[in-house]
Amino acid sequence: MSLATIIHAGMRQHERPPLALVLMGGGARTAYQVGVLRALADMLQSHAGGARSFPFQILVGTSAGAINAAFLAARARAGLQAFEELAMFWGRLRSTDVYRLNTSRWLRFSRVALALRLSQHVQAKGALLDNTPLAEMLRRGIPLDNIESALRSKTIDALAVTGSSYTSGVHWTFCQTASRETFQPWTSPGRRSEFQPLTIAHLMASSAIPFIFPATSLTVEGQEEYFGDGSMRQITPLSPAMHLGAQKILVIGVGQPERPWLAAAPGTPGSGPSLGSMAGHVMASVFHDTLQADVEQTRRVAKTINELPQEAVSAMRYKAIEVLAMAPTQSLDALALQYTDELPTTIRDALGALGMLKGGGGTLASYLLFEQGFVQSLLALGRGDATTRAAELIELITGP
């Protein structure tokens, strides 16, 4: 993130410092975010007389985090109940609601036949899995018209989702605010923004995991481009929130860039990594967020400015951007390995026959495991992590 973005954001003047919620991508792993937010809602209800208003003015999401953000924006006028409804949404979710793969069970007995069938499927669909069920579920589950109502009532100020263009290589942030006229777009090398009322296509584009789900077409600057998962090339995840005016940010990531437990995975000496290990590494690379780097840079800028002579600080009228970052305290890869048997039979058979559930297969499975064993474990982990940091969360939202 550029130094200018951080400083400019800190110099904006607001009657009420806008609080942003930034939700990173990670497929099924983003159920962890729901656990954190559900716990936060409980904390807020029991704090300061049981306030129930929706606490975030700016919502920014990427990939499955974009789906969570859009869901909350559509229900923001319900106040803290929005978080409970999001938890109920995830509680009903199954992998068959998100994707499907139509293969015959006998194919699992022949790797050659299975590879041929999957190759034909990829050529026909442009990806391994068909995510049509996801589009249908989102149309039923997210009333997009309610987002406009939340914006016009000033319950929220902005909703933004990100996607990565296969066509141009540009990382786009699509923003919906109450007024197109007041929206101020930004442009940086490889990164652009545009005002667009958000649609199901935006959510499908942002969550289109490369090779797993097909690309989705969107129109930007009057041209049709094809988009994949917004986590690709996302080098500054906090930047959109700051451009939209955030003074305080709660960001919830689900990435784990270091996976030392994989080094202990059994294997044949000299055989090299398994397909599962390689697939897991690729997925972790796609969702390898630079969140911590963004957080550290924001804090360094604040520290540097505050060390200037007091006269200079006063003249700048700079207020440091407060950032609280949440991430799982346990390995989600290892957790997913406990629930791979819950994968749909066709998926489990296909991935198993190809050896993609061995070695580091837990990483790949963790993005696709929209099943209740894994989901409920993530919700519990998120709740536990949030409870541990309750004082920090309350102070960020309500002040010291």
Estimate to the nearest angstrom the gap between the alpha carbon of 190 and the chain centroid. 20
Which residue matches tokens 């070695």? 359
Cα–Cα distance between 68 and 26 in angstroms, integer? 11
Cα–Cα distance between 400 and 382 in angstroms, integer? 23
User: Is 104 one of the annotated active-site residues of the chain?
Assistant: no
Amino acid at 238: L
Q: Return the half-sphere exposure (C-beta side, CA atoms, 13 A cut-off) of residue 292.
A: 7
Catalytic entry in 157, 229, 289, 349 = 229
Encoded tokens for 89: 């949404």
Nearest to 388 by CA among 28, 40, 29, 22: 40
Tell me if 360 sits within 8 A of 337, measured CB to CB.
Answer: no
Nearest to 169 by CA among 243, 122, 225, 237: 225
Encoded tokens for 100: 């499907």
User: Is 130 one of the annotated active-site residues of the chain?
Assistant: no
Mode of pairing for the β-strands spanning 58-62 and 248-252:
unpaired
Alpha-helix residue ranges (DSSP H) falling in 227-287 = 239-243, 275-286
Cα–Cα distance between 194 and 205 in angstroms, integer? 15
Catalytic entry in 63, 207, 231, 331 = 63
The length of the chain, given as a count of residues: 400
Query: How many other C-beta atoms can be found within 10 angstroms of the C-beta atom of residue 355?
Result: 15
Active site residues: 63, 229
